[in-house]
Structure 1
Amino acid sequence: MTNFKTADICDDYASEVQVCQLDLRSYGKKRRFFGKIETVQVFEDNVLFEEALESVPEGSVIVVNGGGSTNCALMGDRLAGIAVSRKLAGVIINGCIRDSADIASMDVGVLALGTNPLKSKKNGIGERDVSFTFGNVHWKPGDYVYADEDGVIVALEKLV
């Protein structure tokens, strides 16, 4: 379902949602997406992110806390292609992507801080299925995230 609006959800559930205060840019073809949150916490290393892309349930939104680093990209067209093929709703990255022109034509939601052509390290350092905070939001596996042209909000349960 993509006929929700974050503004309407905020109007109806203002006391039950958190609004992300990070200025994320939309890169994927889907500008509006929602789903159950799966989390990955890494720093300039995308091995665990790729593992999550290959294993989380269809319809999920993977939230990657890359520590806000803009030194390299955590996702490019190959990883975005995995998200599309596995029918994920979207990816939200507190970090950068690359191959943005290719990702723009892919049928998946992708939000990130920006772009950087340099690929990340491949050491497999980080954590999956953990809670963390960025953008004034507490991101927790199993909560729901809603993203559209107006912003990103998080709720403890499915609201639409």
Structure 2
Amino acid sequence: MSNVAFVTCDLLDDHPDLDIQVVIPSLDGKFFKSYGARKTFGGEVVTVKCFEDNSRVKELLATNGTGKVLVVDGGASMRCGLMGDMIAESAVKNHWNGVIIYGCVRDVDAIAELDLGVHALAAIPQKSNRKGVGEVDLEISFGNVCFNSGDFVYADNNGIVVSKTKLVDL
């Protein structure tokens, strides 16, 4: 496991002058849960927007992700998982630090064993459709935060924070 030394609370406290955004748990019950073996993770953001189609998620996590976190706007769909164990294994093989999914994952027991940070809204056994639909590297928004490729995201059991500035060497 990667030994990452930061706590999101401390990042906020240590950098009061920076514009660090905090993902807000919504009032409609959409809370992020940790599913991967890495409980603390972060890195440079790569964004993807897809709805019930994990084609772009699979493609991106099969590329070199050294120092990066894939942030997925899945439209908060609760109808299918946008990442399962095989795609998560590909992410580990390709050195991604983590994946944050505004939607669901599947194969959670297998994902829990992988050296990968994974935050998602829920788990569901249903797989997604693959039709090659999805957009990469555009601004996405959820939890009262805007994410852009090139930003830096940090996640732990306290929550998720986003900064334009790199706060920690990972």
TM-score interval, smaller chain:
over 0.9
- Matching of residue 104 in structure 1 with residue 112 in structure 2: yes
Q: Once structures 1 and 2 are overlaid, which stretch shifts more, 27-36 or 14-23?
A: 14-23
Pick aligned residue for 2:102 from 73, 78, 94: 94
- Matching of residue 124 in structure 1 with residue 132 in structure 2: yes
State the Cα deviation string for residues 69-93 of structure 1 (Å, max 9, x = none). Answer: 0100000000000111011100000
How far apart are the structure 2 equivalents of 1:126 and 1:87?
A: 22
Q: Which residue of 1 aligns with 2:28?
A: none
Q: Which residue of 2 aligns with 1:25?
A: 33
How far apart are the structure 2 equivalents of 1:21 and 1:8?
A: 17
Moved over 4 A (4+): none
Q: Once structures 1 and 2 are overlaid, which stretch shifts more, 98-107 or 4-13?
A: 4-13
Opposite residue 2 of structure 1, the aligned amino acid is V
How far apart are the structure 1 equivalents of 2:102 and 2:118?
A: 11
How far apart are the structure 2 equivalents of 1:95 and 1:33?
A: 19
Q: Secondary structure at the match of 1:125?
A: coil
TM-score, structure 1 as length reference: 0.97
State the Cα deviation string for residues 40-70 of structure 1 (Å, max 9, x = none). Answer: 1000000011111112531210000000001
Cα distance change on mapping 1:94 and 1:132 into 2, 3 Å: same
- Of all paired residues, the percent bearing the same amino acid is 45
Opposite residue 113 of structure 2, the aligned amino acid is S
In the alignment, is the contact (CA less than 8 A) between 2:69 and 2:153 conserved in 1? yes
How far apart are the structure 1 equivalents of 2:38 and 2:65?
A: 18
How far apart are the structure 2 equivalents of 1:16 and 1:8?
A: 14
Q: Once structures 1 and 2 are overlaid, which stretch shifts more, 46-55 or 96-105?
A: 46-55
In the alignment, is the contact (CA less than 8 A) between 1:38 and 1:56 conserved in 2? no
5+ long unaligned stretches in structure 2: 26-30
How far apart are the structure 1 equivalents of 2:67 and 2:157?
A: 19
Q: How does 1:3-152 map to 2 (within 5 A)?
A: 3-14=5-16, 15-22=18-25, 23-152=31-160
The number of residues matched between the two structures is: 160
Deviation (angstroms), 1:157: 1.3
RMSD of Structure 2 on Structure 1 (CA) = 1.0
Q: Secondary structure at the match of 2:82?
A: strand
